[in-house]
Amino acid sequence: MTDAQFTADSRTALILIDLQHWILEMHAWQPRPASDVVDACARLRAAFAPVVHVRYLRADGADGGPDAPANQLHERCAPGPDDLLVTKHGLDAFEGTGLAAHLAASGVTGVVLAGLSTAHGVAATARTALASGLAVTVVSDATATVTAAEQDAVLDELTRAGAAVRTVDEVVAGLVTGG
Protein backbone atom coordinates (compact mmCIF):
# COMPACT_ATOMS: atom_id res chain seq x y z
CA MET A 1 0.00 0.00 0.00
CA THR A 2 1.25 3.48 -0.81
CA ASP A 3 0.79 6.55 1.39
CA ALA A 4 -1.32 8.43 -1.14
CA GLN A 5 -5.00 8.78 -0.28
CA PHE A 6 -7.49 7.10 -2.59
CA THR A 7 -9.65 9.52 -4.56
CA ALA A 8 -12.26 8.72 -7.15
CA ASP A 9 -14.47 10.65 -9.49
CA SER A 10 -17.09 9.94 -12.13
CA ARG A 11 -14.38 8.37 -14.27
CA THR A 12 -13.79 5.56 -11.76
CA ALA A 13 -15.77 2.34 -12.13
CA LEU A 14 -16.36 -0.33 -9.51
CA ILE A 15 -15.98 -3.86 -10.88
CA LEU A 16 -17.32 -6.68 -8.68
CA ILE A 17 -15.90 -10.03 -9.76
CA ASP A 18 -17.37 -13.53 -9.53
CA LEU A 19 -19.75 -13.16 -6.57
CA GLN A 20 -21.78 -16.13 -7.72
CA HIS A 21 -23.16 -18.62 -5.22
CA TRP A 22 -21.06 -21.56 -6.41
CA ILE A 23 -17.86 -19.53 -6.21
CA LEU A 24 -18.71 -18.09 -2.80
CA GLU A 25 -19.21 -21.66 -1.54
CA MET A 26 -16.18 -23.13 -3.32
CA HIS A 27 -13.56 -22.72 -0.54
CA ALA A 28 -13.03 -21.60 2.99
CA TRP A 29 -11.74 -18.31 1.57
CA GLN A 30 -8.81 -16.57 3.28
CA PRO A 31 -7.90 -14.27 4.95
CA ARG A 32 -11.64 -13.61 5.33
CA PRO A 33 -14.72 -15.75 4.69
CA ALA A 34 -16.97 -15.24 1.69
CA SER A 35 -19.63 -13.62 3.88
CA ASP A 36 -17.17 -10.84 4.80
CA VAL A 37 -16.25 -10.35 1.14
CA VAL A 38 -19.96 -10.04 0.28
CA ASP A 39 -20.48 -7.53 3.13
CA ALA A 40 -17.53 -5.45 1.91
CA CYS A 41 -18.65 -5.61 -1.73
CA ALA A 42 -22.18 -4.58 -0.72
CA ARG A 43 -20.73 -1.50 1.02
CA LEU A 44 -18.78 -0.62 -2.11
CA ARG A 45 -21.79 -1.27 -4.32
CA ALA A 46 -23.87 1.16 -2.25
CA ALA A 47 -21.22 3.87 -2.71
CA PHE A 48 -20.76 3.58 -6.49
CA ALA A 49 -23.17 4.01 -9.38
CA PRO A 50 -23.27 2.43 -11.84
CA VAL A 51 -21.38 -0.79 -11.11
CA VAL A 52 -19.90 -3.44 -13.39
CA HIS A 53 -20.75 -6.98 -12.26
CA VAL A 54 -18.68 -9.82 -13.67
CA ARG A 55 -19.69 -13.45 -13.65
CA TYR A 56 -18.00 -16.57 -14.93
CA LEU A 57 -20.00 -19.01 -17.06
CA ARG A 58 -18.71 -22.00 -18.96
CA ALA A 59 -18.79 -21.33 -22.69
CA ASP A 60 -20.28 -24.78 -23.34
CA GLY A 61 -23.19 -24.22 -20.93
CA ALA A 62 -22.28 -27.31 -18.88
CA ASP A 63 -22.68 -25.26 -15.68
CA GLY A 64 -26.39 -24.77 -16.38
CA GLY A 65 -26.04 -21.35 -17.95
CA PRO A 66 -26.96 -17.92 -16.61
CA ASP A 67 -30.27 -19.00 -15.07
CA ALA A 68 -28.86 -21.84 -12.95
CA PRO A 69 -29.24 -21.00 -9.25
CA ALA A 70 -25.55 -21.65 -8.56
CA ASN A 71 -24.60 -19.09 -11.22
CA GLN A 72 -26.68 -16.30 -9.71
CA LEU A 73 -24.83 -13.39 -8.16
CA HIS A 74 -25.30 -12.98 -4.42
CA GLU A 75 -28.46 -10.95 -3.88
CA ARG A 76 -26.62 -8.27 -1.82
CA CYS A 77 -24.37 -7.62 -4.80
CA ALA A 78 -26.81 -8.18 -7.65
CA PRO A 79 -26.92 -5.74 -10.56
CA GLY A 80 -29.25 -2.77 -10.41
CA PRO A 81 -31.09 -1.35 -13.41
CA ASP A 82 -28.24 0.98 -14.42
CA ASP A 83 -25.44 -1.52 -13.80
CA LEU A 84 -23.57 -3.53 -16.42
CA LEU A 85 -23.45 -7.33 -16.24
CA VAL A 86 -20.42 -8.85 -17.99
CA THR A 87 -20.18 -12.58 -18.64
CA LYS A 88 -16.69 -14.02 -19.00
CA HIS A 89 -15.55 -17.52 -19.89
CA GLY A 90 -12.03 -17.32 -18.43
CA LEU A 91 -10.27 -15.52 -15.60
CA ASP A 92 -10.00 -12.01 -17.07
CA ALA A 93 -13.09 -9.77 -17.12
CA PHE A 94 -11.71 -8.00 -20.21
CA GLU A 95 -11.01 -11.07 -22.36
CA GLY A 96 -13.69 -11.45 -25.03
CA THR A 97 -16.32 -9.42 -23.15
CA GLY A 98 -16.43 -5.91 -24.56
CA LEU A 99 -15.68 -4.48 -21.10
CA ALA A 100 -12.75 -2.38 -22.36
CA ALA A 101 -14.91 -0.77 -25.05
CA HIS A 102 -17.68 -0.05 -22.54
CA LEU A 103 -15.28 1.60 -20.08
CA ALA A 104 -13.62 3.65 -22.83
CA ALA A 105 -17.00 4.81 -24.19
CA SER A 106 -17.99 5.83 -20.65
CA GLY A 107 -14.80 7.84 -20.19
CA VAL A 108 -13.57 5.60 -17.38
CA THR A 109 -9.91 6.12 -16.48
CA GLY A 110 -9.73 4.08 -13.29
CA VAL A 111 -11.20 0.91 -11.84
CA VAL A 112 -11.77 -0.35 -8.32
CA LEU A 113 -11.71 -4.15 -8.16
CA ALA A 114 -13.31 -6.40 -5.54
CA GLY A 115 -14.58 -9.98 -5.35
CA LEU A 116 -13.19 -13.48 -5.77
CA SER A 117 -10.64 -14.71 -6.11
CA THR A 118 -7.75 -12.34 -5.60
CA ALA A 119 -5.28 -14.76 -7.21
CA HIS A 120 -7.47 -15.52 -10.22
CA GLY A 121 -10.25 -13.27 -11.55
CA VAL A 122 -9.23 -10.15 -9.62
CA ALA A 123 -5.51 -10.43 -10.49
CA ALA A 124 -6.11 -11.26 -14.17
CA THR A 125 -8.50 -8.34 -14.52
CA ALA A 126 -6.11 -6.00 -12.68
CA ARG A 127 -3.19 -6.95 -14.94
CA THR A 128 -5.19 -6.26 -18.11
CA ALA A 129 -6.51 -2.97 -16.72
CA LEU A 130 -2.98 -1.86 -15.83
CA ALA A 131 -1.68 -2.87 -19.27
CA SER A 132 -4.52 -0.84 -20.80
CA GLY A 133 -3.44 2.29 -18.93
CA LEU A 134 -6.25 2.35 -16.38
CA ALA A 135 -5.58 3.36 -12.79
CA VAL A 136 -6.28 0.25 -10.70
CA THR A 137 -7.26 -0.03 -7.05
CA VAL A 138 -7.72 -3.48 -5.49
CA VAL A 139 -9.80 -3.47 -2.32
CA SER A 140 -7.92 -5.72 0.10
CA ASP A 141 -10.76 -6.40 2.53
CA ALA A 142 -13.27 -6.98 -0.28
CA THR A 143 -11.21 -9.80 -1.79
CA ALA A 144 -10.01 -13.23 -0.71
CA THR A 145 -8.26 -16.28 -2.10
CA VAL A 146 -7.34 -19.82 -0.99
CA THR A 147 -4.73 -18.90 1.65
CA ALA A 148 -3.74 -15.76 3.54
CA ALA A 149 -0.17 -16.15 2.25
CA GLU A 150 -1.42 -16.26 -1.34
CA GLN A 151 -3.56 -13.15 -0.69
CA ASP A 152 -0.55 -11.23 0.60
CA ALA A 153 1.68 -12.40 -2.26
CA VAL A 154 -0.84 -11.46 -4.96
CA LEU A 155 -1.54 -8.04 -3.45
CA ASP A 156 2.22 -7.41 -3.20
CA GLU A 157 2.70 -8.45 -6.84
CA LEU A 158 -0.16 -6.21 -8.02
CA THR A 159 1.27 -3.29 -6.03
CA ARG A 160 4.65 -3.79 -7.70
CA ALA A 161 2.85 -3.83 -11.07
CA GLY A 162 1.29 -0.43 -10.33
CA ALA A 163 -2.02 -1.12 -8.63
CA ALA A 164 -3.02 0.66 -5.44
CA VAL A 165 -4.27 -1.54 -2.60
CA ARG A 166 -6.85 0.04 -0.31
CA THR A 167 -9.49 -0.95 2.22
CA VAL A 168 -13.23 -0.43 1.83
CA ASP A 169 -13.06 2.43 4.35
CA GLU A 170 -10.30 4.14 2.36
CA VAL A 171 -12.19 3.77 -0.92
CA VAL A 172 -15.50 5.02 0.49
CA ALA A 173 -13.74 7.94 2.22
CA GLY A 174 -12.08 8.80 -1.10
CA LEU A 175 -15.45 8.88 -2.82
CA VAL A 176 -16.77 11.30 -0.22
CA THR A 177 -13.74 13.59 -0.06
CA GLY A 178 -12.10 13.11 -3.45
CA GLY A 179 -15.15 13.34 -5.69
Helices (H), 64-147: 99-105, 123-131
Q: Which residues pair with 61 in a beta bridge?
A: none
Task: Give the model confidence (pLDDT) of 54-112 as tens digits.
Answer: 999 999 999 999 999 999 999 999 899 989 999 999 999 999 999 999 999 999 999 99
pLDDT band for 175, please (50, 70, 90 cuts).
confident
Report the sign of the C-alpha dihedral through residues 86, 145, 20, 49, in that order: negative
Q: For residues 119 and 105, give the distance between their C-alpha atoms in angstroms, rounded to a whole number.
A: 28
**pLDDT at residue number 174:** 86
Task: Give the model confidence (pLDDT) of 120-143 as tens digits.
Answer: 999 999 999 999 999 999 999 999
Q: What is the mean pLDDT of residues 142-151?
A: 98
Q: What is the mean pLDDT of residues 7-36?
A: 91
Architecture of the CATH domain 12-178: 3-Layer(aba) Sandwich (3.40)
Judge whether residue 1 has pLDDT over 70: no
In Å, what is the CA distance from 89 to each residue of 9, 47, 65, 85, 148? 30, 28, 11, 13, 26
Q: Which residues pair with 73 in a beta bridge?
A: 20
Q: For residues 76 and 20, give the distance between their C-alpha atoms in angstroms, rounded to a whole number.
A: 11
Task: Give the model confidence (pLDDT) of 34-50 as tens digits.
Answer: 999 999 999 999 998 77
**pLDDT at residue number 176:** 64
pLDDT band for 2, please (50, 70, 90 cuts).
very low
The residue extents of the domains of the chain are: 12-178
**pLDDT at residue number 131:** 97
